[in-house]
Structure 1
Amino acid sequence: MAEDRSGFLKASWVNVASNVIKIGVEGSLGVFSGSLALMADAAHSVADLLASAVVLVWGRIVYDDPDATHPHGHERFEPLSALFVGGVLILLGVKLLYDSGNALLTGPEAEYSAVLVAGLLFALVDRYACYWYTCLINREVHSPGLRALAADSKNDIYTTLAAFVGVGGMALGYPILDPIAGGMVSLLVVYQGVDISRENLRYLSDSAPPDEERERIETAIRSHPEVRGVHDFVAYYSGHVIEVEFHAEIDGSHSLAEAHDIETELRERVREIEPVSDVHVHLDPSGLGEWKDAADRSSASTTAR
């Protein structure tokens, strides 16, 4: 946990620093030249800076131990911060799209300069390095907040390439390409914001994990040699991790100590599956049939063996 927290903080600070540098370079060049594509890309980075700062402040709380106010831990803070990232990107993308449309109607006023190309090349290197480092750290950390920032850095590469289209248009005598490129950037920003928001709403609303995850967990339970059947199985997201609840049917002749050992083995077996966190196990003597949906479950319990 300490190593994950350290890696998370390093990657978050790298995102903050790289966005500050990119804003300074592109923002200055955009104001100097009047390029909407560069100013749109720099404004996108302002939202990225805000997003990375939110992830840094809120996301690290997930590594705090459970306490009196949050007895189940702080896992929901990280998808909450990622959801904020998505919302900011949607609002910013809509604003940039409006500005690009307005420039198409009134006529672009940008002026080409070779310095713009150098600035955009720097932005490409800056964002790719940030993307690579964030992905490298997140291979071990598995953070939705860092995953959102990595996706944002990757999209920054595409938006910067779109800005190249605008600058290239100015160089060739087609300044109309600048607001068109700005519009392309804006649409990508909106799409990214919607995608990030949808993913993290799922984490925050206690939704069920994908069917393949559920099947993997249930298979691990049923494969225990003492389990005669499984019923009342529930798996749901709590933040970006999965909580699992289930009743396992075992032979009723086991002693209390033996049943305790079986329960511990089942809990540890399920917790070994990523990204499972908490596991709640209830043991029942097989054959009672007192659980909900007993008629349907009894046939499943028989075939499971």
Structure 2
Amino acid sequence: MRMATYASTSVALVLILTKTAAWMMTDSVSLLATLIDSCLDAAASMLNLLAVRHALEPADKLHRFGHGKAEALAGLGQSTFIAGSALFLCFESIGRFSHPQPIEAMPVGVGVMIFSILATLGLMLFQRHVIRQSNSTAIKADHLHYKTDLIVNGAVIAALILAYYGWPGFDPVFAIAIAGYILFSAAEIARESLDLLMDRELPDEQRARIKEIVKKHPQTRGIHDLRTRKSGMTAFIQLHLELDGHLTLMQAHAIADDVEALILAEFEDAEVIIHQDPAGLMEQRPEFAAA
């Protein structure tokens, strides 16, 4: 995860330098759009770097559940950066639309965009590998951002060619479309980050799988009050396990340990808390708790 943040920051800085030179030569507002995006990529990547370093710190006396929510805070910060850049780009594009400017040094701009696409593809392949290994929210947010960059860079190439050989107004038109797509991406990142900060339940298919695992044990009679959430890479799973009321405490404890091991075999980074209940015991349960 740390290597992914270092790679992301390095790529963003290299692209800023190349795009700045290309923008100064072409005076393209579409290229300015992707330059602004790269500047925010660098800021967001630096934020990610700090957040991931903090999130990977082990739990301590003041943070018993670890520091995983630092990733969600980083994702929320990223979405704010991205939305701000999109709004700035909209205002810039509207002004340029009223007074279109001819594109200069078009081949240079296209060459820089092709280089950007290749560099972004290499980074995304590495990020995808890291996501498969860690399921990191911060890296997923960064990956989504660079995924939109591919589309943005392709759109800039089209805008440069069309504006150079045809109507100069194509440049701001494409820039406005890029800004809209960036805003959509920012909303997606913000939604996932808020879900983590608000302790949203794990996806329904994962909750259903937990219930299947528990009920598969031959000595369990049922499960209720299943509660789940995620913080960083760690999933937290709490449940009430229904057992034969005539079991000894030692027997019930052994069964709960077996069930916990079964859950951990499939949810490796989870923390599991199991409360044992006699089957058939009538309890007052929260209305939202699934049976």
TM more than 0.5? yes
Question: Is structure 2 residue 207 aligned with structure 1 residue 203?
Answer: no
Give the structure 1 partner of residue 145 of structure 2: 152
1:303 — aligned with what?
Answer: none
Counterpart code for 1:274:
F
Deviations 1:228-278, CA, capped at 9 Å, x for gaps: 122222223345643222111111232222222112122222233337622
- 2:116 aligned with 1:120: no
Deviation at 1:122, TM superposition (A): 1.0
How far apart are the structure 2 equivalents of 1:131 and 1:221? 37
- Give TM-score scaled by structure 2 length: 0.93
Question: Which residues of structure 1 form unaligned runs of 5+?
Answer: 1-7, 301-305
Q: Which amino acid aligns with 1:191?
A: F
Distance 1:255 1:43 in 2: 66
SS at match of 1:166: helix
> For residue 193 of structure 2, what is the amino acid of its counterpart?
N
CA–CA distance in 2 between the matches of 1:274 and 1:35?
49
Aligned to 2:274, what secondary structure does the other structure show? strand
- Name the counterpart of 2:205: 212
**Are 2:116 and 1:90 aligned?**
no
Aligned length: 290
Q: How do 1:116-195 residues align onto structure 2 when only pairs under 5 Å count?
A: 116-195=109-188
The structural deviation recorded for 1:205 is 0.3
CA displacement at 1:293 relative to structure 2: 7.4
Deviations along 1:204-242, one digit per CA (max 9) or x if unpaired, are 101122221211111111111111122222223345643
Matched, 1:57 2:50: yes
1:10 and 2:7 are equivalent in the alignment: no
Q: What SS is found at the alignment partner of 1:271? A: helix
Would the aligned equivalents of 1:76 and 1:240 in 2 still touch at CA under 8 Å?
Answer: no
Larger deviation, residues 265-274 vs 28-37: 265-274
CA contact (8 A) 1:31 1:39 kept: no
Structure 2 letter corresponding to 1:272: A
1:184 positional shift: 1.8
- In the alignment, which of 237, 247, 259 is matched to residue 254 of structure 1? 247
Matching residue of 2:41? 48
The percentage of aligned residue pairs carrying the same residue is 24
Instruction: Tell me if the contact between 1:231 and 1:291 (Cα under 8 Å) persists in the aligned partners.
Output: no
Deviates most, 64-73 or 274-283? 274-283
Q: For 2:173 and 2:211, how far apart are their aligned partners in 1? A: 51
CA gap of 1:173–1:230, structure 2 versus 1, over 3 A, is: closer
Deviation above 6 Å: which 4+ runs of structure 1?
none
Instruction: Give, in whole Å, the separation in 1 of the partners of 2:133 and 2:246.
Output: 43
Q: Deviations over 1:142-166 (max 9, x none)?
A: 1111111111111111101111122
Which residue of the partner structure matches residue 272 of structure 1? 265
Residues 1:104 and 2:97 aligned together: yes
Alignment partner, residue 281 of structure 1: 274
Give the counterpart letter for 1:66 in structure 2. Answer: A
Counterpart residue type for residue 189 of structure 2: I
Corresponding residue for 2:215?
222
CA distance in 2 between partners of 1:197 and 1:228 (Å): 40
